[in-house]
Structure 1
Amino acid sequence: MRNMSFSSPSAADGSPANRVPDVTVDFWLIKLMAVTMGETAADYLAVNMGLGLTATSLLMAAILVVALVAQFAQKRYVPWAYWLAVVLISIVGTLVTDNLTDNFGVPLTISTVLFSGLLLATFGLWYASERTLSIHTVFTTRRELFYWLAILFTFALGTAAGDLVAEYFDLGYLTTGLIFGGVIGAIALAYYLFNIDGVLAFWLAYILTRPLGASFGDLLSQPLEYGGLGMGTILTSTIFLLCISAIVVFMTAKQDDRAALIDRGD
Structure 2
Amino acid sequence: MAKLEETLGKVPALTLGFWIVKIAATTLGETGGDAVTMSMNLGYAVGTAIFAVAFLATVALQVRATRFHPALFWLVIVTTTTVGTTLADLLDRSLGIGYLGGTCILVALLLATLFTWQRSQGSISIDSIVSRKAEFFYWLTILFSQTLGTALGDWTADDKGGLGLGYAWGAVVFGAGLLVVIGLYYGTKISRTALFWAAFVLTRPLGATVGDFLDKPLANGGLALSRYGASAALLVFIVLAVLLLPQRAEKVRASA
Of 107, 113, 118, the residue aligned with 1:127 is 118
TM-score by length of 2: 0.91
Partners of 1:157 and 1:210 in 2: CA distance = 8
Write the mapping of 1:231-246 to structure 2, written as runs, cut at 5 A. 231-246=225-240
Q: Is the 8 A contact 2:35 2:228 kept in 1?
A: yes
> Could you say which structure has the higher strand fraction?
2
1:152 aligns with 2:152: no
Between the two structures, name the one with larger relative contact order (CA 8 Å, sep ≥ 6): 2
Partner SS state of residue 17, structure 1: strand
Partner of 2:199: 205
Of 64, 75, 79, the residue aligned with 1:73 is 64
1:50 aligns with 2:44: no
Deviation at 1:15, TM superposition (A): 5.2
- Equivalent residue letter for 1:239: A
1:37 aligns with 2:28: yes
TM-score by length of 1: 0.87
- Equivalent residue letter for 1:175: W
Write the mapping of 1:114-193 to structure 2, written as runs, cut at 5 A. 114-167=105-158, 168-193=162-187
Q: Which runs of 4+ in 1 moved over 6 A?
A: none
Partners of 1:254 and 1:69 in 2: CA distance = 21
Deviation at 1:76, TM superposition (A): 2.3
Deviation at 1:187, TM superposition (A): 1.1
Q: Is the 8 A contact 1:90 1:155 kept in 2?
A: yes
Task: Return closer, same or farther for 1:207/1:120 CA change in 2, 3 Å cut-off.
Answer: same
Q: How many matched pairs?
A: 242
Partner of 2:74: 83
Partner SS state of residue 18, structure 1: strand
Alpha-carbon deviations, 1:120-143, whole Å to 9, x = none?
110111100111110122111011
Partners of 2:50 and 2:191 in 1: CA distance = 39
Partners of 1:108 and 1:53 in 2: CA distance = 15
1:63 aligns with 2:54: yes
**Gapped regions of structure 2 (runs ≥ 5):** 250-256
The CA RMSD measured in Å over matched residues stands at 1.6
